[in-house]
Structure formats: C-alpha cells, structure tokens
Structure 1
Amino acid sequence: MKTSTKIVGCSLFTLLSSCGAYFNQPVTVQKASYGEGTPATLSLKSLPPPKEQIVVGVYKFRDQTGQYKPSDNGSNFSTAVTQGSTSILIKALEDSNWFIPIERENLANLLQERNIIRSTRQEYLKDPNSKDQQLTPLLYAGVLLEGGIVSYDSNIITGGFGARYFGAGSSTSYRQDRVTVYLRLVSTQNGKILKTIYVSKTILSQSLDASLFRYVKFKRLLEVETGFTKNEPLQLAVTEAIEKAVEGLIVEGIQDNIWAANAPISTLTEVINEYNKEKEESESTLLYKRYFKERRAKFGINLDVGGSLIQGDYPSAVLKPALRAGMRYFIMPTFSINTSVNLFWMKNKNKFEDAHTSFDLNTEVLFLPYDRLTPFFYIGTGLGATSSYESPYFKIQSGAGVEYLATDNLGIRMLGEINFTQSDKIDNITSGIRDDNYWRFFISVNYYFPRKKYDEKAIKKHIKDLSIEATSNSTK
C-alpha cells in the first residue's frame, strides 16, 4: 500500500506541478475577447516602415488540400483547415503596415453596391449633371498575392510513455501535425511572378493522465482518475504561418529591390542578416528537426587533460596525468586529419615511473557530423620517447569517444585510446614476447574558428545601391 501511494503521489505531483493547463480548466462561461496574437505577429509589426505603401489585391487564398478532419466514427464533412485564410492574409497585410489591401474576394458585391449608389443618385438628385453623382474611382492593385494552404499532414510524429504498478500509474502521449503555406507575389503589369515564399508550421497535441485502482479493504474499491488534453489551435497555426510568409515576402522584396524601406542602412542590414540566418537554418533542417548543416569550421584546435595507464611487463599499473594540445582540419564534415603533441607520465607501483612525450597524426571519422552530440573514431601513427628524448619508438594508436557541441565553435569531448608500441623497453625492462602498450583517457575542449556567414559590408553596399537607385528613379 505504501509503494502504490508513493507512485500515485509522485505522478500527481508531476501532473500538477508541470502542467499549467491543469489549473486553467474552463469551469465557467467566458466572455468574448479579441483574437490572440502569435509569435510572428510581433515580428511582423516590428519591421522597418516602407517608403511608400503598396496597393495589393487578394482574390483568394484558401485551402487547396481538399482534406477533411480525420474521424474514427464514420464520415466527417468538416474540413481539416480553416476556409477563411483569405481574411487571415488580409489582416496580416494590414498589421505589417507595408500594404494597402483592396477588396477583391467579394468584388461582385462591391460593384453591385456601387451600381445601387449610382442608380439612386440618378433618380433622386435634382441636377443630373452634379459632381456629387460621380463615384470616386476604385483603387487598382500594382501586385497580386496568390497561393494558399497547400498541405495538411496529420500524425507525422506520435508517441508517448506510461507506467503502471499494482493498480497505480500514469501516462502521457503526444501527436504532431503540420500545415504548409505557399505565398506568391505577381505583377499586374506583365503577370511576372516576382517572389514565392514557403512556410511550414507544426501543430502539437498532447495528453497527460494519472489513475489509481485499488481495493483498500474488503468490498471497498478506490478508483481515482485525473488528467488533461491540450491541442494547439489550428487557426493560430495557420495565422502564424501566413504572417511568417508575409514577413519573408517583405524582407526578400527589400533585398531584390522590389520595394524600399524607410530606415537606416544599419537597421536594414540587421534585419536582413537575421532573416538570412533563420532561413539558412530552416533550409538546413530536415523534417524531424534534424539540422543538416556543417556545424564545425574547417580548422580547430584542442586542449586535453586526462590520464595514462601503462600495460607492460610490471604489474600494478598506476593512473598518471596526461596532457595534449593539437589542431584539426576537416576535409569534409565526416572526415578530418589532426595532429597533437602529448606529455604524459606512466608508472608501475614500486617498480617504474617515467615521463614521455609523443607526436601523433590521426585520421578521424564523425558518425553524426550534423548533430550536436556525435560519436567518433580515429586511428593513426605516432612517435614517442621519454622526456629526455631517449629510446624513441614508433607506435600505432586508435581511439573512440563522443563530442558535444555547446556552440558551433566550442565542443567538449570524452575519449579513450590505446597505443600499440613497437618497443618492449617502455618500462625499462625487456621481458616476454609482447611489446609494451599504454592507454590514455582525456576530457578535451575543442575550439573551431568561426567562419563569416554573411558579408555585412557587401549587404550594406547592396542596400545603399538600392536606395540610390530608388531615389534616382523617383527623381526621373
């Protein structure tokens, strides 16, 4: 009974302490509120202002997937994604303050209403030639926005975990869906597609529950259940994807001189750099958040601290300190060549103790070069000698370990290696038929020299040239 009580207690504590949704259960009627923003909303509104707002038309931006909501109980004729994405796009265009959206989705209604106004004025105005009878002309769009929601993939990742013991236990499960949006900019003068933006957004659903089912005494059954399910709103996911697409459209339009921003060059350079960095990371990301990019630079240095252990003719080997300094050059992300200088001590209890140096040359293979945590293996050759450079010997070494990248420039390694020498005099005694060998173990700090991803001077020059060109065109 005590064991099961502890399990239930721990489960409930985890449930209640880590899940804020548990304390926000809708037990009362809630009043209407203004729509929530998304993380992309603030980013969209914080973009530099335009030199001149662009009149844009949106005829339709709708669900192009044709999918219906999945159902376990027969047919379901509700669509999987919202059918009001045109309204979401128009709101995003307004929030950006870069565009002047004009009504095109229900253009027939607008034209019919204007005809009613004209006929009414003709019938009731006393002077048929009055200027009040004329309507102001409709705005026409310089560009059109087309595209839509092109994909909705459900259950791209599902999983969970649970445990039960003696009638008490808890479990958790999750599911991830994904929605994809394409947005393209079309010139109304010649029909040219000026820009296309592609954005995806994942949608998370998760549940957590705990239960107890126990007979507490004869004919007395205790049953307790609690938990919650939390689903990310699909409408907010679609909104965030559309807002992100509009943001990308604005920044890439500045880069390609489609339009100009009213901001200092330093501000525009910072915005473009951040966008290019985020876009590069997105383009290097595989489906399940696996980054497919070169994290390490071509050249790096390392400093290692560890210990050495001799395997010779004497018994009772003692672990002694070892130091290493080296450099590494990557021929490709998975393959590198490294050299190192080593200073280490070896000892057998009451028999032998000496300091040694060695120069090593290794070839190394990284098994997961695009991940932060990767195992590696290396093999190479080297020359060793005592600290007084007496009795030099040739050796072959191989080792393995793991490396964790704290940043793209700093890696921490744990590794072990064995050194096969071609000498039986390492411990100053020749005995038996086998040569003396030794082990070394290290904790290593690796620094990879950063490479400049973006040339800020070139970007600033490009933006300055665009500003001069835009000023020249406006003057003409």
Structure 2
Amino acid sequence: MGINTIFRRLAAGALLLGLSGCAAYFHQPVRGEQARLGAEAQASRLLRELPEPKERIVVAVYKFRDQTGQYKPTEGGTSFSTAVTQGATSILLRALEESRWFTAIERENLSNLLNERKIIRSSRAEYSQLTGQPQQALPSLLFAGVILEGGIVSYDANVLTGGAGLRYFGAGASGQYRQDRVTVYLRAISTSTGEILKTVYTTRTILSQQVGASLFRFVKFQRLLEAETGFTYNEPTEIAVKDALEKSVQALVYEGIRAGLWAPRNAAETTGPGINEYFEEKNDNQQLDVLGRVQRDRRGALGLGLSGAAVRYAGDLRNAQIQGGGEVALHYQGAGGVARWSAALRLGRFGLGAGERYREQFNYAELSGQYRLFPREQFTPYLLGGGGITLRTPATGRGAALPHLMAGAGAELLATNWLGLSLDVANHYYFSDQLDRVRQGRYNDFFWSARAGVVFYLRPPGARPAPASPSRP
C-alpha cells in the first residue's frame, strides 16, 4: 500500500468522523413543518421543581427592556435587526407563571386594559338603562406588593471563537464555532417602601457552529469531480434569553426564601435539596471566570513527586542510545497553592549509552524552578529551569562531579485534588566536555530527557473543610 493511498484513507476517515459528530446535518428540513409548542430549556424544569409557596406574591412587570442597544452582527457589519428579542416582558411573565410563586398582573399595556374596562362599564350602563335591570359593578384591579424591574443589560458577540480543518489532495473538512453571551439582571422592589428587596444576575451563552466538507479531484483526464456539503447552526437568542430569565426567577425565589421575604408551604423546604443545590451552585460560581472555567486553589504547598524518564545522550560518541532513568522530587510553592512559581529539589539516577561499548550510570541532585501558565486550573502547561550536580557511579577519576543547567517544558493534569500527572521534556547542559570521558569538538556534552510522573500533593486546598452555608435570618 503506497503512502499516498494511506494519506487518502486517513483524510477520508477524518472527513467521515467530522460528519458523524454533526447530528444536525442528518436532520436537515426537507419539507415544511406544522406549528408546535415552543422548545423548553433546562431552566423550565428547574421552575417546575420549585417548592410550593405558602402564599402567592402579586407582582407587576411594567417593562422588561432590552438595554443593550445593540444590533445583530453580520459579516458586513451590523443589520437593523436587534441582537436580542424585544419581547422579554412576555418571556418573564410566562416564567413567573410557570414558577407558581407569583401572580402577575398586567401593567405593560395598562392603557389597553383600562380602555376595555371603560367599554364594559359603558355597555353595562346602557343595558341597565334599556332594561331597567341593575348590572354588577366591575371588581377593582389587583395592586402589586412587589414590582419586578431590570432588563437585558448586555449582549457580547464573539466571546469565544475557534475552529479546525484538514485538507489533503483536494479533499477536506473544516469546522468553526462562535460563542456569544447574553446577561440579565432582575430586581424585586417593595411597592410600600420602595426598597430593593433582592437583585439577581444570570448569564447564558449562545452557540453558533459551522461544519463543511468538500472534494475537488480530477478522476480522469479532463474529468473533474467537485462536491461540497455542510451546515450552519445558530442557537436562537430567544431561547437563551428565556433560559436566563427562568434562571433569574428561580434565583429570586430561593434568595427570597433565604432572606425571609417569602416562605414555602412546607417549612422543611427552606433547607431542602433544591435550595441547598442552588446556594452550592452560587458558592461554586465565585470560582468561575467569564468562560465558565473553575478558578480555585488546587495544589498544596508541598508535593512529593515520582517520575520515570527516557534519556538520550548527545555528546562526542556516535550511535547514541535511549536509556532509562528515575527521579524523586520535593515540590514547594507559596501558601494557598496559587503561586505561578514553585521550586523543587530533585534527586535522580539515569544511564547514558552510545554504540556497543559506552554504558555509564549517573546520579544527580538539582534545584529547579517551575512556572505554571494557569496555576488555578486543572490542566496547565509549565516551564522548567534550574541547575545541579551530576555524579558518576562509581565516583572515580577526574570529572566525577559535573555541574549542569537544566531547561524544559511540560504540562500537568490534576486527576484529583491530591494527585497530579505530569509529562515534560528537558535538556541538561554541562559546563564541561567530560560527561562521556571524551573531549572532542567545540561543544560540551548534554542529554535530552522525557519524563512522565506523578505528584502527590500534601493537604491540597480542596481538602480543607468548606465553610458552612449562611443561615436564614
């Protein structure tokens, strides 16, 4: 099988694999659809799982507005269409109804309601004059104890973008994605005092993705085969706004329960699993960045490392071979485990080999520094640098102790709060040409090492007991 055939099959396999992960591609609409009920987001289920209220709260929503002032972004700039829905009030009113905690009253189009009530009174008065039968008066309108205000405060486009592609001999596939974000604030105001009782804040990302595949190939002389397929998916912004508003209503209910503003019918629900899960999520949210990644203290101040290495000699002798090595290390970093810089004392043993005759074992001790690019994340690349002393085994003859410098790079993945898995590549450079007992050429001896190891962190920050949740006032 030729190398070109192998590459062609690999390209075709990658193309098929890319298409297999695109469920929307295989659900393309081929005919019109009838009207159906609107799609429900995850937050709708959370609203239905709220505990039953002791008494419903009468609330008024005058106008829940789009406060972003942004227009929908396009490739050529912006269009005259707004970036988010202008009907957020209707979405919020439905969320209040679904929660079963609030009785919403009409305030957005109050003038229409008042006009209709005037028409009813006028019609009843005329009927009473014609028939002489008195008509029942209209009941008075409900007044709200709480006003809900706020709005959609931001729409951030292209918060995160990326993609990948592969093309070989005219056949290829590519994919791109983009994440936008919508942010909602909701506050409850007491109508009797004007006091702002609670303010909640939620965000929701909006995903857009594009996947395409193409083939451009001459199958015969003057016979060109060209094929192209793909799809683009844009998550509706209305679904994102709906999800964010329903999450805001859930947060408002639980925050009000904890603050004693309202209460569930069953008093045990004040410490039930639903409210505990919400406040646990709120506490965890303190450790998330804008991309939703957990940012918290992960590594303990002290760690014990154990690693194995593959070592390749680079010196004056030919036919360098790969030998094995091992190392133990004591790691130290700043209090709290958040420092980018850390230090390590390393003790190890390795072998060097070249050709059929040269075999030698060495011990070494070195002090190194490590710089982590993302010290508060579970996975982080890092840079290494340091120096130490290499000792021959046995330590005989001139050059038994050789000073060296070390530099390298690697990455670490925390499998648990206690255990880290590391992989790095380093170069050990010597200040003399005596490592292989041969002085030849212009450059000093050195060797490369690839290490894989584990680090056991002693009492990591995640092992400390979590603070108790706040109690109800």
Q: TM-score range by the shorter chain?
A: 0.7 to 0.9
Q: Give per-residue Cα distances to partners, 1:91-128, cap 9 Å, x unaligned.
A: 12222233222222122233333444445555556999
Which of residues 411, 415, 432 is equivalent to 1:403?
411
Does 1:239 find its partner at 2:236? no
Q: Give per-residue Cα distances to partners, 1:344-370, cap 9 Å, x unaligned.
A: 2546676775674x6654432223324
* Matching residue of 2:229: 226
The 8 Å contact of residues 66 and 85 in structure 2, kept in 1 or not, is answered as yes
* Matching residue of 2:383: 376
The 8 Å contact of residues 305 and 324 in structure 1, kept in 2 or not, is answered as no
Does 1:44 find its partner at 2:47? yes
Change (3 A) 1:25 1:290: same
Which of residues 285, 290, 293 is equivalent to 1:285?
290
The 8 Å contact of residues 366 and 386 in structure 2, kept in 1 or not, is answered as no
- Kindly provide the amino acid, as one letter, of the partner of residue 458 in structure 1: A
Change (3 A) 1:359 1:26: same
* Matching residue of 1:365: 371
* Counterpart Cα distance in 1 of 2:463 and 2:52: 27
Does 1:336 find its partner at 2:346? no
Instruction: Please report how far the alpha carbon of residue 66 of structure 1 lies from its aligned counterpart in structure 2 after TM superposition.
Output: 3.1
Does 1:273 find its partner at 2:280? yes
Does 1:94 find its partner at 2:97? yes
The 8 Å contact of residues 11 and 210 in structure 1, kept in 2 or not, is answered as no
- Kindly provide the amino acid, as one letter, of the partner of residue 329 in structure 1: Q
228-237 or 416-425: bigger deviation: 416-425
Instruction: Please report how far the alpha carbon of residue 383 of structure 1 lies from its aligned counterpart in structure 2 after TM superposition.
Output: 9.4
The equivalences for 1:39-438 within 5 A come to: 39-70=42-73, 77-121=80-124, 124=127, 133-158=136-161, 160-161=163-164, 168-212=171-215, 222-261=225-264, 262=267, 263=269, 265=271, 267=273, 268-277=275-284, 279-282=285-288, 284-286=289-291, 293-306=296-309, 319-331=323-335, 332-340=338-346, 342-344=347-349, 346=351, 356=363, 360-371=366-377, 372-379=379-386, 398-407=406-415, 409=417, 410-417=419-426
* Counterpart Cα distance in 2 of 1:457 and 1:166: 60
* Counterpart Cα distance in 2 of 1:423 and 1:215: 60
Contiguous gaps of at least 5 residues in structure 1: 470-476
The 8 Å contact of residues 327 and 339 in structure 1, kept in 2 or not, is answered as yes
- Kindly provide the amino acid, as one letter, of the partner of residue 101 in structure 2: W
* Matching residue of 2:36: 33
Q: Give per-residue Cα distances to partners, 1:224-260, cap 9 Å, x unaligned.
A: 3332222211211111122222233333334444444
Q: For residue 37 of structure 1, give the secondary structure of its aligned residue in structure 2.
A: coil
* Matching residue of 2:461: 451
* Counterpart Cα distance in 1 of 2:114 and 2:82: 31
Q: For residue 334 of structure 2, give the secondary structure of its aligned residue in structure 1.
A: strand
Change (3 A) 1:96 1:303: farther
Q: For residue 63 of structure 2, give the secondary structure of its aligned residue in structure 1.
A: coil
Instruction: Please report how far the alpha carbon of residue 377 of structure 1 lies from its aligned counterpart in structure 2 after TM superposition.
Output: 1.6
The 8 Å contact of residues 415 and 421 in structure 2, kept in 1 or not, is answered as no
The 8 Å contact of residues 8 and 211 in structure 1, kept in 2 or not, is answered as no
35-44 or 9-18: bigger deviation: 9-18
120-129 or 104-113: bigger deviation: 120-129
* Counterpart Cα distance in 2 of 1:170 and 1:439: 37
* Counterpart Cα distance in 1 of 2:177 and 2:157: 12
* Counterpart Cα distance in 2 of 1:453 and 1:84: 47
Q: Give per-residue Cα distances to partners, 1:398-449, cap 9 Å, x unaligned.
A: 342312324462322123456678999999x8999x9998776531212344
* Counterpart Cα distance in 1 of 2:202 and 2:34: 33
* Counterpart Cα distance in 2 of 1:16 and 1:313: 52
The 8 Å contact of residues 297 and 461 in structure 2, kept in 1 or not, is answered as no
Change (3 A) 1:273 1:299: farther
* Matching residue of 1:474: none
259-268 or 38-47: bigger deviation: 259-268
* Counterpart Cα distance in 2 of 1:311 and 1:23: 54
The 8 Å contact of residues 43 and 243 in structure 2, kept in 1 or not, is answered as yes
* Counterpart Cα distance in 2 of 1:361 and 1:380: 6
373-382 or 28-37: bigger deviation: 373-382
Q: For residue 191 of structure 1, give the secondary structure of its aligned residue in structure 2.
A: coil
* Matching residue of 2:451: 442
Q: For residue 203 of structure 1, give the secondary structure of its aligned residue in structure 2.
A: strand
* Counterpart Cα distance in 2 of 1:327 and 1:443: 16
| Identical columns (%) | 42
Instruction: Please report how far the alpha carbon of residue 61 of structure 1 lies from its aligned counterpart in structure 2 after TM superposition.
Output: 0.6
* Counterpart Cα distance in 2 of 1:22 and 1:142: 50
* Counterpart Cα distance in 2 of 1:147 and 1:406: 41
99-108 or 81-90: bigger deviation: 99-108
TM-score by length of 1: 0.75
Q: For residue 204 of structure 2, give the secondary structure of its aligned residue in structure 1.
A: strand
Instruction: Please report how far the alpha carbon of residue 173 of structure 1 lies from its aligned counterpart in structure 2 after TM superposition.
Output: 3.7
Instruction: Please report how far the alpha carbon of residue 34 of structure 1 lies from its aligned counterpart in structure 2 after TM superposition.
Output: 0.9
The 8 Å contact of residues 149 and 186 in structure 2, kept in 1 or not, is answered as yes
Aligned residues: 454
Change (3 A) 1:128 1:115: farther
Change (3 A) 1:12 1:414: closer
Contiguous gaps of at least 5 residues in structure 2: none
The 8 Å contact of residues 170 and 217 in structure 2, kept in 1 or not, is answered as yes
Q: For residue 81 of structure 2, give the secondary structure of its aligned residue in structure 1.
A: coil
* Counterpart Cα distance in 1 of 2:204 and 2:159: 12
* Counterpart Cα distance in 2 of 1:438 and 1:6: 38
151-160 or 319-328: bigger deviation: 151-160
